[in-house]
Copies of this chain bind each other. A is one copy, B any other.
């Protein structure tokens, strides 16, 4: 799957992933109205609204980008109907040929981590049958519990040729509270990065330069990105924080390797709620999907230019 991601990045010339994090305040009124007409102002109504909203965006952008990243929390908040909308979104994006990164940030130990890995990347056994529960291509994983938490995921990755992105240095302002603390003179995120490189070395595809084990490093920390790029040369880096969180194309060049690969930049509300920004206001509510397409094109150009200028 890492090689499929790379080939799609080359094909689209867009190392971009669109974060499908549908908050109700992003969903155009007319979509909510239709969904509530059918289902009432219920969890089912909300789930239908976010699904229709997602579908519009995916239809408008699927040919421009290699991947999407649905944030499961935004679906999970609507309970079971929300989880059904999550699954529908994952399935639809895969139908459209997109690589799907489930932003689930799970992490536990032993058989529990294995259950998450099985549920999101693998297949669960029921009697003599097996089923994929959520069936993403990649998921994000929290490393705080150490190797016991991560290895059940890498095992399933190797079996299914799928991948994970392990949180190393997150994009939020307080990420330094623990991640930046010095351990033997090195920040904790560097230690986690070294471990990610080690987990990845045991989890390489048959061909290609990048392992099944990626990392998450926030766009808001470009200097840390530069360092971590060196610490984890064979690790694909998922970079959130572009756009709304303040990251710009020029900050991102050091997340990439010399081969122009090695990083994929996420933007969520900057794309999916583009129509709510002044710059794209002319599209209006009903043009929200076209506004998203325009925002993807602008982002693609910003990153391509930054990479050309480095």
Contact = CB atoms under 8 A, between A and B. Distances in A.
Interface of A: 21, 23-24, 32, 36, 41-43, 45-46, 71, 73-74, 76-80, 82-84, 87, 105-113, 115-116, 118-120, 124-129, 131-134, 142-149, 167, 170-179, 181-184, 188, 191-192, 195
Contact of A41 (B128, B148, B167, B178): B128
13 contacts: A32-B127, A74-B112, A76-B133, A76-B134, A80-B133, A82-B119, A109-B170, A145-B175, A146-B177, A147-B177, A148-B173, A182-B184, A183-B188
Contacts of A182: 183-184
A195 B181 CA distance: 14
7 nearest CB pairs, A to B: A79-B133, A41-B127, A146-B177, A77-B119, A146-B174, A73-B115, A109-B172
A118 B42 contact: no
Contact of A80 (B41, B83, B178): B83
Contact of A105 (B46, B106, B110): B106
Contacts of A105: 106-108, 142
A205 B147 CA distance: 37
B77 A118 contact: yes
Number of copies: 2
A87 B76 contact: no
Nearest to A183: B181
A170 to B, nearest CB: 5
Contacts of A107: 105, 142
A181 B176 contact: no
Contacts of A184: 181-182
B131 A42 contact: yes
Given A77-B118, A106-B105, A125-B24, A82 B133 contact: yes
A126 B178 contact: no
A116 B77 contact: yes
B119 A73 contact: yes
B78 A124 contact: yes
A188 B192 CA distance: 13
Given A73-B108, A112-B74, A172-B110, A188 B181 contact: yes
B178 A192 contact: yes
Contact of A144 (B36, B126, B129, B144): B144
Contacts of A46: 124, 126
A76 B124 CA distance: 10
